Amino acid sequence: MDYSQIELRVLAHLANDPVLIDAFNNGRDIHSTTASMISGIPYERIQKYKDDNGTPESIARNQAKTVNFGIVYGMTEKALSDNLRISEREAKKIIDDYFEGYPGIKRYMNEQHNLVRKKFYVTDMYGRKRRFHREMKSREFWLRSAAERQAGNFPIQSSAGTMLKHAIVKLQDVLPKHDVNIVLQVHDELIFDCPRGISKESLLEIKETMENVVELKVPVKADIDIYPERWAEVVDFDEWFKE
């Protein structure tokens, strides 16, 4: 089970951006929403042709996906231009259009930059601090600049990571009931060892436990993948419980 787009959901919560919150709350595809915003192509068209490689719609969505995750990591215009193989001028326009469409995210990033300049630290939504005293007091511009980017990124990544740790703690009262064990944590997902005959209701209880560790302004969702035989062969959840 892995958290679906958890860092973007945390970003929506922390930035309190109404456009991003509305998209999540209405079940819209976030990458297609951003693609429509920065390209001008209607959302419905992008959704319809997003899987047709080479179409303007699929290209716009792939660019939007890079931007969505890149903004979380403080991606610069140069990095975006290199990643998408476009000019820096084109990359700048994409980022400008992104912040124009999501004004709450722009405000949030500016607030984080100002906070680290003033206090030399930022906190995640659980109160954990990341300190930048050495970087912000340095005479090296690149160190201060990197610290400001990380000041925007840290609360998002740290909060998402802590949510998963919180879920692991909550699951300790749930997993023994279903003879399930956690095998591994990989970034935003947990890998479980389950009895082959585990019920659908049992898996849904584990899923709901993960989804309810904290209340955000957007829904928290976890996806289930089932691998009964080998890692390379995933089985559809509904198909597995069909009979």
- With respect to residue 91, please indicate whether it lies within any of the assigned structural domains: yes
The pLDDT value given to residue 24? 95
How far out from the chain centre does Cα 138 lie?
31
pTM assigned to the model: 0.91
| Residue at 85 is within a domain | yes
At 223, which helix (H) or strand (E)? strand 222-223
> Cβ atoms within 10 A of the Cβ of 204, count?
12
**Which of these three, 101, 133, 152, is where a domain ends?**
101
Digit-coded pLDDT (tens) for 54-85: 899 999 999 899 999 888 777 888 888 998 88
Structural domains in the chain (count): 2
Domain boundary among 81, 101, 121: 101
**Is residue 184 in a domain?**
yes
Residue 94 placed within a domain: yes
What's the rounded mean pLDDT across residues 93-111? 92
∠48-52-56 over CA atoms, to 5°? 80
Q: Give per-residue pLDDT as tens, 158-212.
A: 999 999 999 999 999 999 999 999 999 998 999 999 999 999 999 999 999 999 9
Beta-bridged to residue 121, according to DSSP, are 131
Q: What percent of the chain has pLDDT over 90?
A: 80
The answer to whether position 160 is within a domain reads no
**Integer Cα distance of 59 and 200 in angstroms:** 38
Can you say whether the dihedral through the CA atoms of 103, 28, 69, 183 is positive or negative?
positive
Q: Using the 3D structure, point to which of 70, 101, 132 is the last residue of a domain.
A: 101
In a domain, residue 155? The reply is no
CB atoms near residue 29 (< 10 Å) = 17
Tell me, yes or no, whether 134 lies in a domain.
no
The tokens for 214 are 């904290």
- Residue 127 within any structural domain of the chain: no
User: How does pLDDT run across 123-148, given as a tens digit for each residue?
Assistant: 999 999 999 999 999 999 989 999 99
Q: What whole-number distance in Å separates Cα of residue 234 and Cα of residue 80?
A: 33
Domain that holds residue 30: 18-101
